[in-house]
A and B are shown apart, each in its own frame.
Chain A
């Protein structure tokens, strides 16, 4: 079973890397890019029947730092 976890900085937490990417896009001549947020995609291959609860636990304990990050779980 494949699971995709998206980890993003929480709204309100400044994202200096996203901001640098936004600047770079502007320098390349792409206009109108108002905001860029950079995050992580983590793909897991887990045993069939792994519950969403268990995956949530993985996110809370390791995959995301919930002080600054949110996560979203998607079973593929």
Chain B
């Protein structure tokens, strides 16, 4: 199982994400944003958290136009796996790979704390290691995590079972308490909380382990 982690100027969770993939048994390579093509043998591409391009214009907006991101779009169109965490989720929504947009938190504050998440679906290779309705604790660290979608889109996401996680106590004003969503083909996950920050007991929790492990297991089994 081969994983690639894209590194933009201002990414700061790239190495944590690489460690989380490695611990789950993946071979990881880092990919600088100036590369124009992703290696063709990657099973999954991770778009890490951070502040790509200083959050200029809108969070993730400049990274979404990066040449490597065009290659990422092609990778997802071919049915490749991808995960976008925090700023990575913002990048994925800015490209249109995932629906919606992330706006400034409703209370205008940067929120950095562990939050409760409810697993809304397990029909996804990222989520099959959890139980439906399971509550887990994962840290958030963001200023712009207020997920916004139209009522119609929200209804569609619910109908299609594409809400991955909801907050048990909504910290940022997200529509429908949404913390993460998946793509139509269920192979792309975007989420504001940081599962890579809870894969070791020293992190204060290990609720993120199941996500990386179930993904690696499904790819290896396929």
Residues of A near any B CB (own CB < 8 A): 13-14, 16-17, 20, 61-63, 65, 67-68
Contacts and interface: CB of A to CB of B under 8 A. Distances in A.
Contacts of B103: 13, 16, 68
Interface in B95-134: 99-101, 103-108
Interface of B: 57-58, 61, 65, 93-94, 99-101, 103-108, 146, 148-149, 173
A14 B172 CA distance: 12
Given A63-B57, A67-B100, A16 B65 contact: no
Give chain A's interface secondary structure class: helix
A26 to B, nearest CB: 16
Contacts of A20: 108
Give chain B's interface secondary structure class: loop
A40 to B, nearest CB: 8
A25 B121 CA distance: 44
28 contacts: A13-B103, A13-B148, A14-B106, A14-B173, A16-B104, A16-B105, A16-B106, A16-B107, A16-B108, A16-B146, A16-B173, A17-B104, A17-B108, A61-B65, A62-B57, A62-B61, A63-B57, A65-B58, A65-B61, A65-B94, A65-B101, A67-B99, A67-B100, A67-B101, A67-B148, A67-B149, A68-B103, A68-B148
Given A16-B105, A65-B61, 14 more contacts: A13-B148, A14-B173, A17-B104, A17-B108, A20-B108, A61-B65, A62-B61, A62-B65, A63-B57, A65-B58, A67-B93, A67-B99, A67-B101, A68-B148
